Structure 1
Amino acid sequence: MPDEREIRRVLVVTAHPDDVDFGAAGTVATWTDAGIEVTYAIVTSGEAGEAFPDTPRSEVAALREAEQLAAAKCVGVTDVRFLHWPDGRLTPSLELRRAISRVIRQVRPDRILIPSAELDLERIYASHPDHRAVGEAAIAAVYPDARNPWAHTDLLEDEGLEPWAVPDTWVMASKNATHAVDITDTFERKVAALQAHASQTGGNEGMEDMLRSWGTSVAQKLGLGEDRIAEAFQVVDTR
């Protein structure tokens, strides 16, 4: 991995509002605390989600975007970009690769955090088809698209976006995760970020205990100790 002191900008790409908060909010908080600029690119607005008995379907997207903005503030993120692709209908298309490549070239990050493209039947909720589609499109945007001037040539010719190679790629919810980030000191902010997604987590009185259990299990598995809380990632060298 690059020296953490070399990381100035991180781009997080997810399929839905709340994905980053379940998978990496504690880690994001450690980055922003260290002075790293973090940008979120949320591909959909979560408008096809469930559990909205009191909200007209036409208002769900705006509600979930507002929740994500509030959650981002809990962990020090102010640059949140919604790409407005259709929730529940994502595929790893060339068009989605172009859209993610565009954001990479705009942000020019030193690190990118993306979903896993794996289908893991032991963790089916993490393997939502939209997550996998964004994961596959995002890694293709990292390599080869965003760095290649001959890929999506309109980004350079029409929008003036120069190619950019992201040297460091982190993958959330990967069964091959071996890198742990200690989030013990930022755990409460992770909980606050998820509580901001009230339409998804409201009324779940056991959520904090569940998150703590997950985090302590990760910390123990990856050798941080029994009294620590962690999030885990697969780190890919994409220099």
Structure 2
Amino acid sequence: MVVTAHPDDVDFGAAGTVAGWVKAGIQVAYCICTSGDAGGFDDTPRAQMGPLREAEQRTAAAELGVEDVTFLGHPDGRLVPSIELRRDISREIRRFRPQRVLTQSPEIWWRRIGASHPDHRATGEAALAAVYPDARNPFAHPELLAADGLDAWTVHEMWLMAAPDERVNHAVDITDTFDRKLAALRAHVSQTAQLGDLDARLRPWHTYWARKFGFPEGRLAEAFQVVSVG
């Protein structure tokens, strides 16, 4: 399961990895905390932005083969790691019952501060709390069992996007899925149309991670902090 703050976060941070998982037969679901209604770069009416970005994210997910996409509807730009957000993420974890949760780092990445949007960090902190201890604790959020019939579920591993450099300990070769990543990002027209050549913009970054982890020349990689939850 992928838990992010906004539509497009997963595609910038991990679409190549997700595409590889789906290609390998792994079932993937998205849990997106907001509808991205505070985003965009044009004069699209605010009331239309949230539904537009939800539709873009569903299209982007389909490019990777992901069909299960849930939007929690929390306020864009005002996320905090509240009990309510923890509960809502826990609900999705108990529903989908993943072995792994990929989310955003709750820490600040000082070298690339744009990746550490406050909503991203709040999502990472809430997702971490949802994984441990909330989703696995049968006595946490009792309404999830009483009202929704969702039993406790234990996630064993977390992958964190945009973690500080010293925390990054794993890289995934995305050379063969880079085209799927670009296709997913281009589906986010409201966010990427003004960025120009996405290939030229992203390829150096993924080349950097591939070289850092000793991949052969010409390969591309996405990098993560992988945490065993136990």
TM class by shorter-chain length? over 0.9
Instruction: Return the alpha-carbon distance in structure 1 between the equivalents of residues 114 and 206 of structure 2.
Output: 17
Q: What does residue 215 of structure 1 align with?
A: 206
Amino acid at match of 1:41: C
Q: Does 1:228 align with 2:219?
A: yes
Shift in Å, 1:225? 2.2
Shift in Å, 1:193? 0.5
CA shift digits 1:161-189 (9 cap, x unpaired): 10000011111111211101000000011
Instruction: Return the alpha-carbon distance in structure 2 between the equivalents of residues 169 and 156 of structure 1.
Output: 24
Instruction: Return the alpha-carbon distance in structure 1 between the equivalents of residues 201 and 77 of structure 2.
Output: 26
Amino acid at match of 2:211: Q
User: What pairs with 1:1-239 in structure 2 (closer than 5 Å)?
Assistant: 11-53=1-43, 55-175=44-164, 176-239=167-230
Shift in Å, 1:224? 1.1
Give the SS at the match of 2:110: coil
Shift in Å, 1:159? 1.6
- TM-score, length-scaled by structure 1: 0.93
Shift in Å, 1:124? 1.2
CA shift digits 1:90-131 (9 cap, x unpaired): 000111111100000000001110100002232111110000
- Percent of matched pairs sharing the same residue: 61
- TM-score, length-scaled by structure 2: 0.97
Shift in Å, 1:157? 2.1
Structure 2, unaligned runs of 5 or more: none
Instruction: Return the alpha-carbon distance in structure 2 between the equivalents of residues 67 and 157 of structure 1.
Output: 34
Give the SS at the match of 1:42: strand
Shift in Å, 1:57? 1.1
Structure 1 consecutive aligned stretches of length 4 or more whose deviation exceeds 4 Å: none
Q: What does residue 7 of structure 1 align with?
A: none
Structure 1, unaligned runs of 5 or more: 1-10
Instruction: Return the alpha-carbon distance in structure 2 between the equivalents of residues 140 and 99 of structure 1.
Output: 11
Amino acid at match of 1:205: G
Shift in Å, 1:70? 0.7
The structure carrying a bigger helix percent of its residues is: 2
Amino acid at match of 1:127: S
CA shift digits 1:16-39 (9 cap, x unpaired): 000000000000000000111100
Instruction: Return the alpha-carbon distance in structure 2 between the equivalents of residues 76 and 49 of structure 1.
Output: 25
The alignment covers a number of residue pairs equal to 228
Shift in Å, 1:52? 2.5
Instruction: Return the alpha-carbon distance in structure 2 between the equivalents of residues 144 and 123 of structure 1.
Output: 30
Q: What does residue 3 of structure 1 align with?
A: none
Instruction: Return the alpha-carbon distance in structure 1 between the equivalents of residues 53 and 40 of structure 2.
Output: 12
RMSD of aligned C-alpha atoms?
Answer: 0.9
Instruction: Return the alpha-carbon distance in structure 2 between the equivalents of residues 123 and 103 of structure 1.
Output: 30
Q: What does residue 8 of structure 1 align with?
A: none
Amino acid at match of 1:209: A
